[in-house]
């Protein structure tokens, strides 16, 4: 029995790695698209992505399957190229993918660290408390959380923004499941739409900017189409929200010292990243890492002056006989920037590595060239870019956009803006189509669900179509 198993495995390896299956497409690449290795690579990637899509059911972090798939795909590529005496070519291709990922990793890590620092300084809690205690009606809160999500996500990211707004919604919505579900849908659409007109709003826009295809200011041409994408479904959905007021909440939140300085440093860091890319021709990550250094220096200042600041505040609290404040001051801990780094969304960052390396491997095999030829040669390019958005509702928009960037089809700036828009907002069509939607299904478990989102999919699709038409009309000179 064991001999049969080993013979079968040996036969499979012969079929997969047989040189007879391969053809050279150039001096530095082999065409593996019709070989056993190519078919096995697609199978591995598909199986990994099925596990990713089942994250909520399986409770398996999405980074695990794609990390393994990346290793298997490039391991097979390396074995074939070694057999042909072309190990150097495979190594260089992998290093190219790794460099692309490293730049994006460091960029995102700095952005996440700043967002976590703001969260630690209680900025987001302060915003939530203000909104809850202002006595807004449910319909006003529906609009307020949506508008804030639309305008915060270009600076932060759509995931962080959606989680913040969902915390507010859950706090004020209470047992009103209908309001919570509809407001969460609105926030997901708004956060994804807001992230589409900024290089910092979504990983896909960041990839397009760092690739040098679109300049920093060119993304702002998508502001009105993105706003339409959010406003069309929001207007329709708001008509179904009751105009009643929720119960007031007496929650008291004190924003910690240095919070607004950190906001200023984050804005300065963004300016440095843009300047490094636009003025110096350097990668934006140079400005971001310099900004991380500024945050570390400010963290050092906060630690050095903490005792003096606490002594002053304790004296004031003792004079006012404020026991609650004295208890709070006794629990204050020094600011540590490396704790903020540790709290970055590492599962997302590692998932991003797996996706970049997997898609890069499929591109090196030759599949992306085939797809590019079909979509961007045989199809109308506008229809192809619209299809990319629909696909991103089923498959995460990161691999979809990375595949398009790897194919790098010949397109006008108007078309590149179109695919950036559709990949960014297309994920709103389904709850599993974006990181914001998946995160909120976990945060509002049992209330904001796949089915609840699907019920409003036709309305969201109306906004998707409207935003495309507005872009085609408004930015017609760019095509």
At residue 328, the pLDDT reads 56
Yes or no: say if 408 and 370 are a contact pair by the CB < 8 Å rule.
Answer: no
Name, in order, each residue with C-beta under 8 angstroms of 100's C-beta and a sequence gap of 6 or more: 356, 360
Taking the CA atoms of 471, 473, 477 and 479 in sequence, report the sign of the dihedral they define.
positive
Range list of H helices, 84-213: 87-120, 123-133, 138-152, 158-173, 177-195, 203-210
Yes or no: say if 235 and 460 are a contact pair by the CB < 8 Å rule.
Answer: no
Which tokens sit at 435? 């990181």
Listed residue (142, 225, 156, 153) closest to 185, CA to CA: 142
Interatomic CA distance for residues 167 and 173, integer angstroms: 10
At residue 205, the pLDDT reads 83
**pTM for the full model?**
0.72
At residue 327, the pLDDT reads 52
At residue 8, the pLDDT reads 42
Interatomic CA distance for residues 114 and 44, integer angstroms: 36
Tens-level pLDDT at each residue, the chain (479 residues): 444 444 444 434 444 444 444 444 444 678 888 888 889 999 998 898 888 777 667 778 878 898 999 999 999 999 999 998 888 889 998 998 888 788 878 877 887 788 788 878 888 777 777 777 777 888 988 999 999 999 988 876 677 678 778 877 887 777 788 899 999 999 999 999 998 888 877 777 878 887 888 888 888 999 999 999 999 999 999 999 988 877 666 667 778 888 899 989 988 988 888 788 778 878 888 988 999 999 999 988 888 888 787 777 777 666 666 655 545 554 555 677 777 777 767 877 787 788 778 888 888 888 877 776 787 878 888 998 998 888 878 766 777 777 788 778 888 889 999 999 998 899 899 877 777 887 777 677 778 887 888 899 999 999 999 999 999 999 998 88
Yes or no: say if 126 and 256 are a contact pair by the CB < 8 Å rule.
Answer: no
At residue 395, the pLDDT reads 66
3-state secondary structure 54-73: CHHHHCCCCHHHHHHHHHHH
At residue 103, the pLDDT reads 81
At residue 188, the pLDDT reads 93
CB atoms within 10 A of CB 182: 25
Name, in order, each residue with C-beta under 8 angstroms of 68's C-beta and a sequence gap of 6 or more: 48
Which tokens sit at 168? 């507010």
């Amino acid at each position: 029995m064991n001999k049969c198993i080993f013979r079968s495995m040996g036969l499979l390896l012969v079929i997969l790695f047989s040189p007879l299956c391969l053809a050279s497409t150039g001096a530095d690449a082999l065409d593996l698209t019709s070989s056993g290795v190519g078919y096995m690579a697609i199978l591995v990637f598909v199986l990994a992505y099925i596990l990713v899509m089942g994250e909520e059911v399986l409770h398996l972090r999405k980074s695990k399957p794609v990390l393994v798939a990346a290793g298997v795909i490039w391991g097979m590529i390396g074995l074939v190229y070694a057999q042909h005496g072309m190990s150097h070519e495979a190594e260089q291709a992998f290093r190219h993918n790794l460099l692309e990922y490293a730049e994006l990793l460091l960029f995102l890590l700095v952005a996440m660290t700043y967002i976590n620092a703001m969260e630690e300084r209680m900025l987001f809690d302060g915003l939530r408390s203000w909104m809850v205690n202002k006595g807004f009606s449910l319909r006003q809160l529906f609009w307020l959380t949506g508008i804030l999500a639309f305008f915060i996500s270009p600076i932060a990211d759509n995931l962080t923004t959606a989680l913040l707004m969902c915390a507010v919604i859950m706090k004020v919505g209470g047992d009103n499941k209908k309001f919570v579900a509809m407001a969460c849908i609105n926030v997901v659409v708004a956060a994804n739409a807001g992230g589409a007109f900024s290089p910092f709003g979504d990983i896909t826009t960041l990839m397009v900017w760092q690739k040098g295809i679109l300049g920093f200011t060119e993304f702002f041409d998508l502001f009105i189409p993105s706003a339409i994408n959010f406003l069309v479904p929001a207007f329709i959905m708001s008509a179904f929200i009751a105009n009643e007021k929720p119960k007031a909440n007496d929650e008291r939140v004190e924003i910690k010292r240095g919070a607004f300085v950190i906001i200023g440093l984050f804005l300065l860091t963004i300016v440095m990243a843009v300047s490094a890319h636009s003025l110096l021709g350097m990668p934006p990550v140079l400005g971001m890492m310099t900004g991380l250094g500024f945050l570390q220096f400010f963290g050092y200042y906060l630690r050095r002056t903490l005792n003096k600041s606490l002594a002053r505040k304790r004296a004031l609290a003792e004079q006012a006989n404020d026991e609650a404040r004295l208890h709070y001051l006794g629990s204050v801990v020094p600011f540590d920037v490396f704790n903020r780094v540790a709290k970055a969304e590492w599962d997302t960052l590692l998932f991003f590595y797996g996706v970049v390396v997997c898609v890069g491997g499929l591109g090196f095999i030759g599949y992306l060239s085939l797809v590019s030829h079909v979509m961007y040669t045989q199809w109308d390019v506008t229809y192809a870019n619209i299809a990319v958005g629909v696909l991103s509702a089923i498959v995460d928009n990161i691999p979809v956009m990375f595949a398009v960037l790897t194919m790098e089809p010949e397109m006008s700036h108007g078309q590149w803006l179109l695919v950036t828009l559709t990949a960014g907002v297309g994920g709103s069509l389904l709850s599993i189509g974006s990181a914001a939607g998946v995160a909120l299904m976990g945060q509002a478990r049992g209330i904001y669900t796949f089915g609840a989102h699907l019920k409003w999919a036709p309305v969201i699709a109306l906004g998707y179509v409207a935003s495309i038409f507005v872009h085609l009309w408004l930015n017609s000179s760019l095509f």
